Amino acid sequence: MNLSLYIAKRYLFSKKNRNAINIISGISIVVVAVATAAIVIVLSSINGFGTLIDKQISSYAPDLKIQAVKGKTFKINNEKFLQIKNLKALKYFAEVTEENVLLKYDNKQTICTVKGIPEDYAKQFNLKAALRNGIFKISGKVLNYAVIGGGIAYKLGISTETGKSVSIWTPNRKKINLLNPEQAFNRINLIPAGIISVDSEFDLKYILTSNKIVRKITDRDSSTVSSIEILSENPEQIESLKSKIKNILGDDYTVHDVYEQFDVYKVMKSERLAAFIIMLFITLIASFSIIGSVTMLIIEKRRDIFTLLSMGATINRLKRIFFIEGWLISFTGALIGIILGGVVCWAQKQYGFITFPSDGMYIVDAYPVSMKLSDFILTFLSVMSLGTIISLYPAAKLKSEFVKIIQSV
């Protein structure tokens, strides 16, 4: 075993003459352990919320979404889109037509987005699981149907049981009549077949109906869409499929994956980075206790230092001993912190002992956590890097102290 490491280990774990040094070393280890555990817990908590958001968004978000760079709509009756439909990695190709509309129900009204979707859309995206009332129906032989976002239904007091229809209004692109403003709008009545609840953003924004109805009210033909939503056969093939579609379409279209479609992912990424930096800064401050611990140990072991110098040990070797001492304190604290953080996260995941207020307003009852090996490795390496840098300080500055110690012995 390396002599410097052996002596440093003996100094760390053996009993000192002054009990205060044991206490200071123990406090240094505990402080580093608590700070390390806090980083693991915070990162795992943010991961948990990210996983929760993923589950919510994945129920209605496509793997890839194609939109035009310029304009609200584009044509798909061309060779490029036929080529995309024939890609092997593609599982589902959905034509989507959207338009901002005025929605009226009884004497209430609001602005929302009507989304025209194919008949099998709900099955592919498992939207039926998000139904809170009624059935998922967007078209009929005689009547027109729609599925209403839960936020809109609550705002306007829409019920599927009354049988009352809602009306959507959009500007008439072909007729402008200043004398009779109502003729300047296209209007269609829809029967609310179901109420759906996915998340607050979706629920307050969308009503779902068939592409045919949206195209009719917006005066668009069957080859015009607002976007194309795509599902991949295999999640691991999404990036490859995205690259192929980009090569086919060129620069006139954007192809966004789930993380590019929603700003919430960018916010979560920024919050995660900010939280990690803040917690690492707290760990840095906490790690300064190592300096005091090593300094006190040098004073405690002044006779040992004199003995080692008498036996031919160099100043650099002595520096190395006390550097390793500080490094071991950091290592021990970081290792305990990683284990402690993992245990706390596991317990929260299994038993959910830290809960939200029980008023029924939250999707989950307890704070979600999701542990990732990469977080544990990143945290351990970051804490050890800080500990290594801090441990260099007392070792580098104590050359003059050795002279004083020799003189005092």
Q: Cα–Cα distance between 71 and 104 in angstroms, integer?
A: 27
DSSP class of residue 366 equals B
pLDDT tens string 115-141: 999 998 988 888 888 888 889 999 888
pLDDT, position 100: 92
> Cβ contacts of residue 62 below 8 Å, gap of 6+?
94, 125, 229, 230, 231, 258, 261
Q: List Cα–Cα distances, 70 to 219, 230, 283, in angstroms.
A: 19, 20, 49
pLDDT tens series, the chain, 409 aa: 465 555 656 656 555 555 566 677 778 888 889 989 999 999 998 888 888 877 777 767 888 999 999 888 999 988 899 999 888 889 999 999 999 999 999 889 999 999 999 998 988 888 888 888 889 999 888 889 999 999 999 999 998 888 889 999 888 766 666 566 666 788 899 999 999 988 878 889 999 999 999 999 988 888 899 999 999 988 888 889 999 999 999 888 999 988 888 777 788 888 888 888 888 888 888 777 777 777 676 666 666 666 666 666 666 676 777 777 778 888 888 999 999 999 999 998 888 787 776 555 556 677 888 899 999 999 999 988 888 888 777 666 655 555 555 555 5
203 three-class SS: helix
Q: List Cα–Cα distances, 169 to 1, 105, 146, 184, 255, in angstroms.
A: 82, 12, 14, 10, 30
Average pLDDT, the chain: 82
Strand partners, 93: 230
CA neighbor of 286 nearest in space, from 357, 337, 351: 337
pLDDT, position 145: 92
Give the pairing type, strands 64-68 and 206-210: unpaired
Q: Exposed/middle/buried for 270, CB within 10 Å: 0-12, 13-18, 19+?
A: exposed
pLDDT, position 222: 87
Strand partners, 147: 194, 208
Cα-Cα-Cα-Cα dihedral sign, residues 8, 14, 17, 20:
positive
How is residue 300 written in tokens? 């405690």
DSSP secondary structure letters along 384-398? HHHHHHHHHHHHHT-
403 three-class SS: helix
* DSSP H or E run through 111: strand 108-117
DSSP secondary structure letters along 219-268? T--TTEESEEEEEESSGGGHHHHHHHHHHHHGGGEEEEEHHHH-HHHHHH
**Cα-based angle 335, 338, 343 (whole degrees, multiple of 5):** 125
